[in-house]
Each structure stands twice: as C-alpha cells, then as structure tokens.
C-alpha cells in the first residue's frame, strides 16, 4: 500500500477511535484529503482535517489535532507527526521507506507504476477523427498527442482501452470535397473547361488530382473513380503522418458503415416509436427540447433525405454504447465542437444511457508563433502548415512535449523558435538532456567495471539525494492524477521537476569518485542514477518521446 493511502487510513482510524472514546463528537460525513506541502519543512504529507472538523465539533483545530495525533496508530514508515497553524497535521516519512520504494521499483518494474482505477472497464478513446479532405494540419496535432498519451495513462490504470479514429467519409464536407475533386479533374483533363467555384480550392486538391490522373489513367469516362482513390490516398497519408507523430489507433471506423443496410433507419424508427422524432417541412426532427436542449434538431434533411451531421453522430454513439457496449467513452474534440457537446448528451438520454458513461475533452486553440507573429491557417484557402511540416521544423519530441504541457481546456502558445533551442530554456531539451546525462554516467561506470547492482541505498543521505528519491516515488501518484483528471500536463510537469532535481544532485553529489574510501558511496549513487534513468525513461515513454543516450 502506498504511503498516501496508509496515512489516509491511519487518519480515518484515528477519527473513529477519537469518536468512540468521546474525545470528539460523532460525525457522519467528512472527507480526509492528503496533500503534499509545497514547503519541505511542512513534512512530506499534510492534511487540513482539523480545520474541516473544527466547526462541526465546535472545537479549536489545535485541540482536534492534538487528539488525532495522540490516537494515530504508530507506523514504521512515519518518522514524526506535527501540528501546524492554523489547523494542519504534517507527516514526515522515514528515509528507510523511500529506500524500500527504490528497491520495489527495481524488483517490480512497470508494475510499480500501475494502479487499478479503471477496474478493467472497457473504454473507447476517440480522437483526431478529422475529415479525410487533406493532410492533417497543425490544429489537429494537440488532440492527437494528448489522446495518444492519455491512452498510455489509461492502460497503466487498468482500463481496457480501444483507440478509435472516426473517418467522416459520408458527410457534407466529404460531398464538397468530392465535388472539388471532380471539378479540378475536369479542368485538368480539358483546358477549355470552365470550372465552377469549389469549396476546396487549395494546392493540395490540384496536386492530388494530377497525381491520381497520371497514376490511375483517369479520363472523362472514368472520372468518378477519382473520389474513392482520393479518399484512400488521403487516409493513407493521414495514417503516415500520425505514425510519424507516434500516434496509433486500434480501430478506423468509417461513418459510411452506419448508413449501410438499415442500421440508421432502425434507430430512427425506434426513436419515432418513442415519440422522440417527428416529421415537419419535409425533414425529420429529433426532440432535443424533451431531453435538455433549447431546441429540436434536424435528424434527416428535407433536400435529399440524408442524415445530418447530428444524425450520423446519433447512430455512431448508439453503436458505441449499445452495439459494441463500451462501459465508458472519451471523445477528444476541438474547441469548435463546444456547441455539439450538449447535443451528444441528449442522444445518451434518448437511449437511456447514463451521462457519466461519456466524457468529452475539448482542446482549446493553439496559437503558433514565429518571431513574435501569430500564424493563421486555412486548409481551404491554401494557407496551410501541416503536421508533417511542423515535425520537420521542430521534431516529433518537441511537438509532443509542448502539446502535452498544458491542460487541454486552456489556450496555449506554441513557440516555434523556442522549440528548436538546444539549452535549458527549452524544457524538451532539458528533460532529454537529463536522461542522456544519466546514460553517459552509466556508460562511464560500465567502462570502469563498477558493480553497483546491490549497493547500499541507505548511504544516500544528502538532501539532494533524498529530494531526488522522493520525486522518483511520486510517479505512480502523478499517473493516477493524470488518469483521474484526464489531463496529461501533470506528467510533463513531473519530468521538468525531476530533471531539475537531477541537475542539483549532479552538481552537489559527485557520482563517480576516484577516492577508494568513497567506493561504496559511488556504487550507491550509481544505483540511484540507474533507477532515475529508468524512471525518467519510462516517463518519456508515457509521453511518446524518444530516449536519447547522448545529445
């Protein structure tokens, strides 16, 4: 059991004991919250439970603290417990506990970082899901990176996770894209052809059409083939880009499959029989106003009898929950989908699915800056910077780290210039350099044939050694926090803090000493370096970044 849980359990037991002895009144509802103090003098862990209980007990926080401390059962991992004004109890953990945790990391490997928060629930993580109308641009990168790292965190938290990309191959944007392809093809095949105005007028469509015409011998008789070829070509390019960005999917789900056979029609009939769909002005409407929305929504268009964007989303979420039976679904969308969130929850209510089974994470806007200027992108008007170009400019690792480093619900700036700086100013470089330095130390030890595998960790008593060790054993807690909050920036923060502590340790504690008297201490410090290398390396794995052994 991790120490935070031990402290929480000891406090609950102390409160129960204090109540049974009549030292404090009986209370039915109270939450014991354990935090890490920002100041080391305040201990390793702290709780404000005396302040929480004070009003209900009609007693001073100090008296409550004294009672609870007196009634806390002793534990070999706790060195001392102190009261701190105005009403905190601070816990100081023994060094021996931390040494034992380092031993566990070496013995347990990845299992040390796992938790059971997910309890093997079947969860779908849907992200990116960009219309296949061109290359992925930089605006899509944030959700892609967050989704892929969140997958790693959910797996560590014992979720049965499936990553899915929803291919919008049957909607209005796809129709406009196909029309644009045909017009460009006619124009390319016949120089006298007067092309109509098209929605996708960028260079990408022009070049794509030219390549397909040459490769597949397209002419006016088989010109319609160009749309299906363009779709498969674009999807293949999207997959290649995501592969470069270290983003993978378990499932690629085509929107068009929802409209095959009578699947969609049966769902509409079901909702109609439940008086949740009605016919008006040639269209079929979903009674969103009965399910928490301000207005009803068109489900099937009057013009062509086809489903709206909302209509296919309704069928898609029916498929997720009632056909494939996911226990939970997480949709990672762009901020422009904000107005669509309430509509999705109305779908769940229509099918009597618990709202808690769906989570929607909205990624706010990323402002890309270069030399102080904010760049603006538009796929349709040929003002475009693709993810491929971004990767070429700053590298995969910089892309991933920077996108992970802010909570998705906040706007962020991506400084292209800073992302390429090879100094401590650039957190990406700083963290990876810390890893490379530990690799270098390990190589030096191997060249000197120093055996440190069973060295005595209790020799590590310097403040900078202890602070580093304390940070190491926090990683499982950080992973759990990322899982619970569905946020990845806590892991990047951890890596930066870890790298800073490694730097302090490196500066103040000579790792490999030439002095024979320091032989045992050298071995102990090398063992700490190796454990640190493993932990920081695994942190980089979670973030989907490379682990350079030299820089």
Distance between CA 42 and CA 82 in Å, rounded?
9
Greater model confidence, 190 or 155:
155
pLDDT of residue 425: 87
Q: What are the percentages of helix, strand and coil residues in the chain, rounded to 5? A: 55, 15, 30
pLDDT of residue 372: 77
Q: How far apart are the first and last CA of the chain?
A: 38
In contact, 331 and 344? CB cutoff 8 Å: yes
Residue 177 has pLDDT above 80, yes or no: yes
Per DSSP, which regions of 69-218 are E strands?
Answer: 78-84, 88-93, 122-126, 160-167
Alpha helices, DSSP H only, in 410-472? Answer: 416-419, 427-447, 463-472
The mean pLDDT value of the chain amounts to 94
pLDDT of residue 1: 58
Q: What are phi and psi of 505, to 5 degrees?
A: -60, -45
Distance between CA 507 and CA 504 in Å, rounded?
5
- 427-543 is a CATH 1.10.730.10 domain: yes
Distance between CA 19 and CA 449 in Å, rounded?
60
Distance between CA 222 and CA 228 in Å, rounded?
12
Q: At what angle do helices 141-156 and 396-404 cross, to 10 degrees?
A: 70
Q: Residue 378: which pLDDT band, with cuts at 50, 70 and 90? A: low
Q: Where in the chain is the domain with CATH 3.30.1360.70?
A: 2-93
Residue 255 has pLDDT above 80, yes or no: yes
Distance between CA 364 and CA 336 in Å, rounded?
8
In contact, 160 and 121? CB cutoff 8 Å: yes
For the question of whether the overall pTM of this predicted structure is more than 0.85, the answer is: yes
pLDDT of residue 14: 93
The whole-number average pLDDT for the span 377-394 is: 75
Distance between CA 411 and CA 335 in Å, rounded?
10
* Secondary-structure class of domain 2-93 per CATH: alpha beta
pLDDT of residue 545: 98
**CA geometry: angle at 333 spanning 123 and 138, to 5°?**
125
Please tell me the total number of residues recorded for the chain in this structure: 551
pLDDT of residue 371: 75
Q: Where in the chain is the domain with CATH 1.10.730.10?
A: 427-543
Distance between CA 503 and CA 487 in Å, rounded?
27
Among the residue ranges 68-72, 181-185, 334-338, 373-377, the one predicted with the least confidence is: 373-377
Q: Residue 259: which pLDDT band, with cuts at 50, 70 and 90? A: very high
Query: Could you tell me which of 390, 351, 315, 355 has the C-alpha nearest to residue 140?
Result: 390
User: Which sign, positive or negative, has the C-alpha torsion 170, 174, 176, 177?
Assistant: negative
Looking at residue 127, the DSSP 8-state letter turns out to be: -
pLDDT digits (tens, 9 = 90+) for 442-480: 999 999 999 999 999 999 999 999 999 999 999 999 999
User: Which sign, positive or negative, has the C-alpha torsion 311, 313, 319, 325?
Assistant: negative
Q: What is the arrangement of strands in the sheet containing 78-84, beginning at the earlier edge strand?
A: 34-35, 45-47, 88-93, 78-84
**CA geometry: angle at 288 spanning 283 and 290, to 5°?**
120
pLDDT of residue 480: 97
Q: Residue 100: which pLDDT band, with cuts at 50, 70 and 90? A: very high
Residue that has been written with the tokens 């008006």 in this structure: 280
pLDDT digits (tens, 9 = 90+) for 496-528: 999 999 999 999 999 999 998 999 999 999 999
pLDDT of residue 172: 87
- Six token digits for residue 31: 């939450």
CATH of domain 128-255+364-420: 3.40.50.620
Residue 276 has pLDDT above 70, yes or no: yes
The whole-number average pLDDT for the span 4-16 is: 93
Q: Where in the chain is the domain with CATH 3.40.50.620?
A: 128-255+364-420
pLDDT of residue 345: 98
Residue 381 has pLDDT above 60, yes or no: no
Distance between CA 84 and CA 259 in Å, rounded?
64
pLDDT of residue 186: 95
Residue 199 has pLDDT above 60, yes or no: yes
Percentage of the chain lying above the pLDDT 90 cut: 83
pLDDT of residue 540: 99
pLDDT of residue 417: 87
pLDDT of residue 423: 85
Among the residue ranges 92-101, 228-237, 297-306, the one predicted with the least confidence is: 297-306
């Amino acid at each position: 059991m991790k120490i935070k849980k031990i402290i929480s359990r000891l406090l609950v037991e102390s409160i129960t004991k204090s109540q049974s002895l009549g030292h404090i009144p009986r209370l039915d509802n109270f939450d014991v919250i354990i935090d890490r103090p920002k100041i080391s003098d305040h201990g390793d862990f702290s709780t404000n439970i005396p302040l929480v209980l004070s009003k209900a007990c009609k007693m001073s926080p100090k008296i409550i603290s004294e009672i609870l401390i007196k009634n806390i059962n002793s534990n070999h991992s706790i060195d001392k417990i102190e009261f701190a004004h105005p009403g905190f109890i601070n816990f100081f953990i023994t060094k021996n506990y931390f040494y034992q945790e380092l031993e566990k990391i070496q013995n347990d490997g990845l299992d040390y970082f796992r938790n059971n928060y997910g309890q093997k629930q079947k969860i779908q993580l849907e992200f990116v899901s960009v219309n296949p109308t061109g290359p992925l641009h930089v605006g899509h990168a944030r959700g892609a990176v967050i989704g892929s790292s969140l997958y790693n965190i959910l797996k560590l938290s014992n979720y049965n996770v499936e990553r899915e990309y929803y291919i919008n191959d049957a909607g209005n944007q796809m129709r406009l894209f196909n029309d644009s392809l045909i017009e460009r093809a006619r124009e390319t095949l016949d120089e006298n052809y007067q092309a109509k105005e098209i929605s996708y007028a960028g260079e990408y469509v022009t070049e794509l059409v030219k390549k397909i015409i040459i490769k597949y011998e397209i002419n006016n008789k088989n010109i319609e083939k160009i749309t299906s070829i363009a779709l498969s070509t674009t999807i293949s390019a999207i997959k290649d880009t995501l592969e470069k960005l270290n983003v993978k999917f378990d499932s690629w789900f085509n929107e068009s499959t929802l409209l095959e056979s009578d699947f969609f029609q049966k769902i509409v009939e079901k909702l109609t029989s439940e008086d949740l769909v009605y016919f008006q002005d040639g269209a079929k409407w979903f009674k969103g106003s009965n399910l928490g929305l301000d207005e009803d929504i068109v489900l099937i268009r009057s013009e062509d009898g086809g489903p709206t964007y909302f209509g296919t989303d309704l069928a898609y979420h029916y498929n997720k929950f009632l056909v494939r039976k996911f226990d939970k679904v997480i949709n990672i969308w762009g901020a422009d989908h904000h107005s669509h969130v309430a509509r999705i929850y109305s779908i769940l209510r229509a099918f009597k699915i618990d709202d808690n089974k769906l989570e929607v994470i909205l990624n706010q806007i990323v402002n890309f800056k270069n030399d102080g200027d904010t760049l603006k992108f538009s796929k349709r008007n040929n003002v475009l910077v693709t993810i491929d170009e971004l990767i070429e400019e700053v590298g995969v690792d910089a892309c991933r780290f920077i996108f992970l480093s802010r909570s998705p619900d906040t706007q962020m700036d991506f400084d292209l210039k800073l992302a390429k700086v090879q100094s401590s100013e650039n957190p990406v470089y700083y963290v990876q350099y810390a890893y490379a330095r530990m690799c270098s130390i390990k190589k030096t030890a191997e060249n000197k044939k120093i055996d440190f595998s069973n060295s005595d960790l209790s020799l590590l008593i310097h403040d900078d050694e202890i602070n580093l060790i304390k940070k190491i054993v926090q990683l499982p807690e950080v992973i759990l926090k990322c899982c619970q909050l569905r946020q990845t920036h806590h892991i990047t923060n951890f890596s930066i803090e870890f790298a800073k502590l490694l730097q302090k340790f490196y500066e103040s504690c000579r790792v490999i000493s030439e002095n024979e008297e320091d032989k045992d201490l050298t071995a102990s410090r090398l063992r700490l370096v190796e454990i640190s290398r493993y932990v920081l390396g695994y942190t980089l794995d979670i973030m989907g970044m490379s682990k350079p052994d030299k820089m």
